[in-house]
Amino acid sequence: MDVTVKIKRYDPESNNADYVWQEYPIAIDENATVLDALIQIREDDDGTLSLRCSCRSAICGSCAMKINGQGGLACKTKASESMDKDGVIRVEPAGNMDTVKDLVADFDMFWNKIREIEPYLQPEGEVPDGEYVVSNESMLHLSAVTACILCGACVSDCTVLEVDKSFLGPAALAKAYRFTADPRDGNEDGVSRDRLKVLGQPSGMWDCTRCNMCVQVCPKGVAPMDRIMAMHDQAIEAGYGNNNGARHADAFIESVGHTGRLDELRLPVKTVGITNIPALLGFAPVGWRAMTHGKLPPLIHKSVEDVQIIRNLYRKLEQ
């Protein structure tokens, strides 16, 4: 099978240290993976190509990179399914992180965020002398989260990290949920109050925009965004609902549940509070740009047909 692998390369030691695209026309087996193609290029065509790989079995997570603009594992991605109509596969280093060389990303930021959420159990109160027995159901619930191989594909495609590097990111927050949902963490009721309080600070769980990219690219089905949403519920139940993130979620639900649509003009007011004048003034530049570009939401929405059905559904969900 003939294929052209187009690689986004970077050499910090070159005279013109900038990203350049380089094409490699090669012939590979029909069942070859993208990683197979890259290794073949490195071994037979260009020994200067740098990449990370190890297990070749979607276990170690070393070969995470962007393939055709989307994060994933090169060893798990079939080349035959990745080619465009011209037989081209585009490969580039993982996003949202600095590049060391070619397809090798600098994971220092990734690991720093993992350390920031303190990835270990922190029981409060008395710890049993013997084995800490927990229910089988609670461990089965965590089995999908513990399947994370820390490959960084979700971080690579996180849209929040593109604009805010201080955001903890989907990998760290999914790892945090592994502990907040563990009955051995926190107090005797399994509530990680201190952990949830820290995770609710700015750049924490409430900064996720729910774009779903991390869910799409995760090679192990961890679904980081779903874990972040679950932590929202945990935080509110633990009494940490007096913050912009929690109020934003409540205002969102209330608006849709009452009118059948989202009132985007009232949403920021209910999020920060009508008496929070400095915060409301901070929205002024955004509102001005929206108005000048014809994107300002209408002051009065048209009624939604059969809105009572939505209201009934909202009441049932509340119950």
- 150-178 pLDDT, tens digit each: 999 999 999 999 999 999 999 999 999 99
- Residue 27: enclosing H or E segment and its boundaries? strand 20-27
What 3-state DSSP class applies to 146? helix
Classify residue 80 by its DSSP letter. Answer: G
* Cα distances (angstroms) measured from residue 229 to each of 62, 249, 287: 28, 10, 28
CATH number at residue 212: 1.10.1060.10
Distance CA(129)–CA(124), nearest Å, equals: 14
Question: Domain of 43: which CATH number?
Answer: 3.10.20.30
111 residue type, one letter: W
Under 8 Å between Cβ of 211 and 136? no
The radius of gyration of the chain's CA atoms, rounded to the nearest angstrom, is 24
Domain ranges, residue 16: 2-105
**Mean pLDDT computed over 277-299:** 87
User: What separation, in Å, do the N-terminal and C-terminal C-alpha atoms of the chain show?
Assistant: 58
Neighbours of 280 (CB within 10 A): 16
Cα-based distances in Å from 111 to 64, 203, 212: 15, 16, 22
Q: At 193, is the pLDDT very low, low, confident or very high (cuts 50, 70, 90)?
A: confident
Contact of 110 with 151, CB cutoff 8 Å? no
* Whether residue 97 sits in one domain with residue 204: no
Q: Tell me, what DSSP letter sits at residue 152?
A: -
pLDDT band at 179 (very low <50, low <70, confident <90, very high): very high
Q: Give yes or no: residues 66 and 124 share one domain.
A: no
Domains identified in the chain, total number? 3
Same domain, 228 and 251: no
41 and 96 share one domain: yes
Q: Using 50, 70 and 90 to split pLDDT, how confident is the model at 253? A: confident
Q: Predicted confidence band at 52 (pLDDT cuts at 50, 70, 90)?
A: very high
Instruction: State whether 204 and 259 are in the same domain.
Output: no
For residues 126 and 228, membership in a common domain is answered with yes
- In this structure, the answer to whether residues 154 and 177 fall within a common structural domain is yes
Strands (E), the chain: 2-9, 20-27, 64-67, 70-73, 88-92, 99-101, 104-105
Per-residue pLDDT, averaged over 16-36, amounts to: 93
CB-count burial class (<10 Å; 0-12, 13-18, 19+) for 84 = exposed
**3-state secondary structure at position 242:** coil
Q: Are residues 137 and 80 part of one domain?
A: no
Query: What is the chain's length?
Result: 319
Residue 97: which of 171, 49, 152, 20 has the closest Cα?
A: 152
Q: What is the pLDDT of residue 269?
A: 87
| pTM score, whole prediction | 0.87
User: What is the model's pLDDT at position 187?
Assistant: 78
Per-residue pLDDT band at 230 (split at 50, 70, 90): very high
The one-character DSSP state at 3 is E
For residue 281, CA distances in Å to 142, 264, 274, 297, 315 come to: 43, 16, 11, 18, 34
CB 170 within 8 A of CB 228: yes
> Is residue 86 domain-shared with residue 130, that is, in the same domain?
no
Q: Residue 290 is encoded by which pair of tokens?
A: 């929206």
Same domain, residue pair 120 and 186: yes
Phi, psi of 65 (to 5 degrees): -165, 175
Are residues 171 and 255 both part of a single domain?
Answer: no
Looking at 73, 105, 137, which one is the last position of a domain?
A: 105
Domain boundary among 175, 210, 237: 237
262 pLDDT exceeds 90? no
- End residue of a domain, out of 79, 105, 131: 105
Is residue 48 located within the same domain as residue 147?
A: no
Sign of CA dihedral 225, 227, 228, 234: positive
